[in-house]
A = this chain, B = another copy of it.
Amino acid sequence: MTRWKLTIEHDGRPYVGWQRQAQGASVQQEIEEAIQKFSGETVRLHAAGRTDAGVHALGQVAHFDLQRPSDGHTVREAINAYLRPQPITIVSAEPADEHFHARMSARRRRYRYIILNRPARPALDIGRAWHLAYTLDIPAMREGAAHLIGQHDFTSFRASECQAKSPVKTLDQLDIVEDGAYLKFEVSARSFLHHQVRNMVGTLALVGRTKWTPAQVAQALAARDRTAGGPTAPPDGLYLVGVDYG
């Protein structure tokens, strides 16, 4: 038996999210079925992050066990052949230690959130960025973001359906980078609460349009109450960029 580590890129638009659900195609199901077709084995994929419907991945990581011996090139190419023409691709397949666990072993998860900030709606990035037409106060957003860095109880930015045992997380990075009409949030932590990135971005957008002061972000955090936080930004702009191990 070999444990395989997959690095996965996918478009989030056609799927109900990472996880299998009663209705609708999931990324997990599509890849599990492709593995079954190539190997004849029924496997269970475990991912580093269970992304929601519409959320994209550049570097999702998942593992599974295969009885049949193989090599990285063959595993990658065979799964990709059966995934075609779907917008899911295995970027790499590597044999991993038997104790490797995509979710449990992850040391850092890196996300990017992209806002398209201009009057005109997107054409090339429909479903791949959050369109905000009003002018944003970016220095104020950065000031608000600074309040979120570090270890905090993030209850105010946590989805009601979140299954994490504790609302205390350590946010290592929340940088806001301007790139033409695009505003890119680079966010990283060991782990996140459900909807945490989208709730933080939705809140910082309130600061950007000067509906909130930067200090109100700190107040919302201190309230430890989801109703004190801002709205959830849409999934369109969110990308799981990568997961670090070891």
Give A9's nearest chain B residue, CB to CB: B123
Bound-complex Cα distance A156 to B187 (A): 48
In the complex, whether A11 has a CB less than 8 A from a CB of chain B is yes
B120 and A9 contact, CB distance less than 8 A? yes
In the complex, whether A90 has a CB less than 8 A from a CB of chain B is yes
B80 and A121 contact, CB distance less than 8 A? yes
| Size bracket, chain A contacts | 20 to 34
A124 and B11 contact, CB distance less than 8 A? yes
In the complex, whether A118 has a CB less than 8 A from a CB of chain B is yes
In the complex, whether A56 has a CB less than 8 A from a CB of chain B is yes
B residues less than 8 Å from A121 (CB atoms): 80, 84, 89
In the complex, whether A170 has a CB less than 8 A from a CB of chain B is no
In the complex, whether A150 has a CB less than 8 A from a CB of chain B is no
Identify which of B85, B89, B122 contacts A120 (C-beta below 8 A): B89
Identify which of B58, B86, B123 contacts A87 (C-beta below 8 A): B123
B residues less than 8 Å from A11 (CB atoms): 123-124, 126
Given A91-B118, A118-B91, do A124 and B58 touch, yes or no (CB 8 Å)?
yes
B residues less than 8 Å from A89 (CB atoms): 120-123
A120 and B56 contact, CB distance less than 8 A? no
Within 8 A of B (CB), among A89-120: 89-92, 118-120
B residues less than 8 Å from A73 (CB atoms): 119
* Minimum distance in angstroms from A232 CB to a CB of chain B: 22
* Minimum distance in angstroms from A133 CB to a CB of chain B: 10
B76 and A91 contact, CB distance less than 8 A? no
B residues less than 8 Å from A86 (CB atoms): 123
B residues less than 8 Å from A126 (CB atoms): 11, 85, 87
Bound-complex Cα distance A128 to B128 (A): 13
Q: What string of 1s and 0s marks CB contacts (under 8 Å) between A1-26 and chain B?
A: 00000000111000000000000000
Q: Ordered nearest first, which 6 A-B pairs have the shortest CB separation? A: A89-B123, A9-B123, A87-B123, A91-B120, A89-B120, A10-B123
Can you show 10 pairs from A to B with CB atoms below 8 A apart?
A9-B123, A9-B124, A10-B123, A11-B123, A56-B124, A77-B119, A87-B126, A89-B121, A90-B120, A92-B120
